[in-house]
């Protein structure tokens, strides 16, 4: 089959963000747009001739079209094997596992995660390296540089591959293999967790509600929770992946999973509620009567992980992204483990996991995971919680209370200002950066600023530096406000404000979060002038 070199011209806007390139579907539908980015990925890599490439996505609108293009291009560029999840489906953590399990050179994941899907909504492309994790900045920078100079892409003429039938076909010189998207992942979960114990818990009447949000985790959750663990049919809701996620945001937070939250707070609440996002890497955990913040969930999972067979040997270390609360730090301190603080985005955990420095990682944005793959993993977090609940035979709320009584409680919230004018958001950050030296020593009400900086990360494994990763305002007593701009949005800017206050173990552990951090919320405006810069007087989303 002849390989065709198609002339093209660069698009100026193909800079990958926190997690790959994300744009509106019509942007991706421009002739050559996806092809340019995919070729820029291939042009930034070395030595993949004859190697395997994994391709899968979260099933959103435009998934199949880009997969067909990517198959032809991967074959034309010289990959030897192309592994694809049936139906074009692979959750992000499952893709990570498939890359590792089959020794693939890398993988292309098609997703815009928790962003809505549909003809006018979001799409995304991300490249993962051979460890199964998101490409590090060195590679994403190279991809972007290439995208600004690209003048041709390679493809070939071949019929569309039938994505819905297992088995092998040839495209050019490559073997294309359609695989079961769930089987390898489910087997990995069985290795890590005590399925017998969880089955016994469920058999004893423990009730679970899992909302797959019409996104990719549906088939995974149905197979694992219902078929393998014996939860009754209907435990998994919205379990069929839809190209537009049923018109919803597949974002497992208190705003977009409000129905589940309300149910969990109601009189007939199940024992355990959970949800995951568009591509299956995020998780929401709600016990009967208690929402567990993602930062707390990370800390509680780390403190109890040894109860699951996969972690019985203990943890090597814990890693969290900088804006994630310090709850995990308290656990690390208590258990005598190293704690790593990284910039936002899972790509920064890869080196720590590969080097065996960290076993469990997490982000405040509902991402938790471990060294079993190199992505955050929504269902993994749910299963680890269930394993812990099956061993401890306590409710989520009891486990949380005991945790706080031992480690103290980090009251925490994130305020998002979405769709803000980009120039105004940039000015706000520039002004804030300009005042960092002047802030320490000043007071706002009863709060005194102790330190202020722009977070920079020095990777202890490869020595790389990442600067300007978020502005930290640290107060006397350990409270903290962090400001950063989102790197995953597709229109305007999103300002994220992370607010945290630590209450020691002998303090008041039973307050309402909003009330516990009210003075810090009030200080946000004084420090950053969000209303002055953007006209916004309240956040759009509080998580």
Give me the active site residues, please: 113
Contacted by 59, from Co ion, ligand VG1, none: CB < 5 to 8 Å by type: none
Residue whose CB is less far from ligand VG1, 190 or 341: 341
Q: Which of 35, 271, 277, 296 binds Co ion (CB under 5 A)?
A: 277
Contacts of ligand VG1 in 427-486 (CB under 6 A): 486
Distance, CA of 24 to CA of 488 (rounded, Å): 12
488 binds ligand VG1 (CB under 6 A): yes
Contacts of Co ion in 279-308 (CB under 5 A): 279, 281-282
Residue 363, phi then psi, degrees to nearest 5: -130, 150
- For residue 530, give the nearest of 491, 485, 478, 476 by alpha carbon: 485
Q: Which of 18, 113, 214, 253 binds Co ion (CB under 5 A)?
A: 113
128 binds Co ion (CB under 5 A): no
Binding mask 87-116 for ligand VG1 (x = CB under 6 A): --------------------------xx--
122 binds ligand VG1 (CB under 6 A): no
Residue whose CB is less far from ligand VG1, 219 or 489: 489
Residue 264, phi then psi, degrees to nearest 5: -70, -20
Residue whose CB is less far from Co ion, 172 or 252: 252
Q: Report in angstroms the alpha-carbon separations of 432 from 1, 198, 365, 440, 451.
A: 57, 49, 23, 13, 13
Q: Which residues pair with 170 in a beta bridge?
A: 175
C-alpha R_g of the chain: 23
User: What's the residue count for the chain?
Assistant: 543
Q: How far is the CB of 278 from Co ion (least distance, A)?
A: 6
121 binds ligand VG1 (CB under 6 A): no
346 binds ligand VG1 (CB under 6 A): yes
Contacted by 218, from ligand VG1, Co ion, none: CB < 5 to 8 Å by type: none
Distance, CA of 414 to CA of 429 (rounded, Å): 17
Angle among Cα 539, 475, 448 to the nearest 5 degrees reads 105
Tokens of 272: 């355990």
- For residue 348, give the nearest of 145, 487, 251 by alpha carbon: 487
Q: Which run of H or of E encompasses 541?
A: strand 541-542
19 binds ligand VG1 (CB under 6 A): yes
Q: Report in angstroms the alpha-carbon separations of 178 from 96, 181, 222, 392, 410.
A: 16, 9, 21, 41, 46
Residue whose CB is less far from Co ion, 61 or 407: 61
Contacted by 48, from Co ion, ligand VG1, none: CB < 5 to 8 Å by type: none
Contacted by 86, from Co ion, ligand VG1, none: CB < 5 to 8 Å by type: none
344 binds ligand VG1 (CB under 6 A): yes
Residue whose CB is less far from ligand VG1, 343 or 408: 343
Task: Report how many residues bind ligand VG1 under the rule CB under 6 A.
Answer: 18
Binding mask 167-206 for ligand VG1 (x = CB under 6 A): ----------------------------------------
Distance, CA of 391 to CA of 452 (rounded, Å): 43
Q: Which of 18, 96, 238, 359 binds ligand VG1 (CB under 6 A)?
A: 18
Q: How far is the CB of 381 from ligand VG1 (least distance, A)?
A: 12
Residues with Cβ within 8 Å of 77's Cβ and at least 6 positions away in sequence, in order, are 39, 42, 48, 154
Q: Is the dihedral of CA 102, 107, 113, 119 positive or negative?
A: negative
Q: Applying CB under 6 A, which residues contact ligand VG1?
A: 18-19, 113-114, 277, 281-282, 321, 344-346, 363, 365, 367, 486-488, 496
């Amino acid at each position: 089959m002849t390989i065709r070199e198609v002339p093209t011209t660069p698009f100026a806007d193909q800079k990958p963000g926190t997690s790959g390139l994300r744009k509106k579907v019509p942007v991706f539908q421009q002739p050559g747009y996806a092809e340019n980015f995919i070729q820029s990925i291939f042009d930034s890599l070395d030595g993949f001739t004859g190697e395997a490439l994994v391709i899968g996505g979260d099933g959103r609108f435009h998934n199949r079209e880009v997969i067909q293009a990517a198959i032809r291009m991967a074959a034309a560029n010289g990959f030897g094997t192309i592994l694809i999840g049936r139906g074009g489906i692979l959750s992000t953590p499952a893709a990570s596992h498939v890359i590792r399990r089959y020794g693939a050179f890398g993988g292309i994941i098609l997703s815009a995660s928790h962003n809505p899907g549909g003809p006018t909504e979001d799409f995304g492309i991300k490249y993962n390296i051979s460890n199964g994790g998101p490409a590090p900045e060195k590679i994403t920078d190279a991809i972007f540089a290439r995208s600004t100079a690209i003048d041709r892409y390679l493809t070939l003429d071949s019929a569309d591959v039938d994505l819905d039938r297992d088995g092998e076909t040839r495209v050019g010189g490559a073997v294309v293999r359609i695989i079961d998207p769930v089987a390898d992942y489910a087997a990995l979960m069985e290795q890590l967790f005590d399925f017998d114990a969880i089955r016994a818990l469920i058999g004893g009447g423990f009730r679970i509600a899992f909302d797959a949000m019409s996104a990719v985790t549906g088939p995974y959750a149905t197979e694992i929770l219902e078929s393998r663990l014996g939860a009754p049919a209907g435990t998994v809701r919205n379990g069929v992946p839809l190209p537009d996620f049923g018109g919803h945001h597949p974002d497992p937070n208190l705003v977009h999973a409000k129905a589940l939250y309300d149910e969990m707070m109601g009189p007939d609440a199940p024992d355990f509620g959970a949800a995951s996002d568009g591509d299956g890497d995020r998780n929401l955990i709600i016990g009967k009567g208690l929402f567990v913040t993602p930062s707390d969930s990370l800390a509680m999972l780390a403190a109890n992980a040894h109860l699951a067979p996969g972690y019985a040997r203990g943890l090597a270390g814990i890693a969290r992204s900088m804006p994630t609360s310090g709850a995990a730090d308290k656990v690390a301190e208590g258990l005598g483990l190293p704690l790593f603080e990284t910039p936002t985005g899972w790509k920064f955990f890869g080196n720590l996991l590969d080097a065996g420095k960290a076993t469990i990682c997490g982000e405040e944005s509902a991402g938790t995971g471990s060294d079993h793959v190199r992505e955050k993993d929504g269902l993994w977090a749910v299963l680890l919680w269930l394993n812990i609940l099956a061993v401890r035979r306590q409710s989520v709320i009891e486990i949380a209370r005991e945790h706080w009584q031992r480690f103290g409680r980090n009251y925490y919230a994130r305020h998002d200002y979405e769709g803000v004018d980009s120039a105004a958001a940039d000015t706000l950050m520039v002004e804030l950066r300009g005042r960092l030296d002047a802030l320490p020593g000043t007071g706002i009400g009863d709060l005194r600023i102790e330190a202020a900086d722009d977070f920079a990360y020095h990777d202890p494994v490869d020595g790389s530096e990442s600067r300007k990763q978020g502005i930290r305002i640290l107060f006397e007593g350990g409270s903290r406000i962090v400001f950063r701009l989102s790197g995953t949005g597709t229109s305007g800017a999103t300002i994220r404000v992370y607010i945290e206050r630590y209450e020691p173990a002998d303090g008041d552990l039973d307050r309402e979060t909003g009330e516990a951090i009210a003075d810090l919320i009030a200080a946000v405006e004084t420090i950053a002038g969000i209303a002055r810069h953007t006209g916004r007087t309240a956040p759009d989303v509080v998580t």
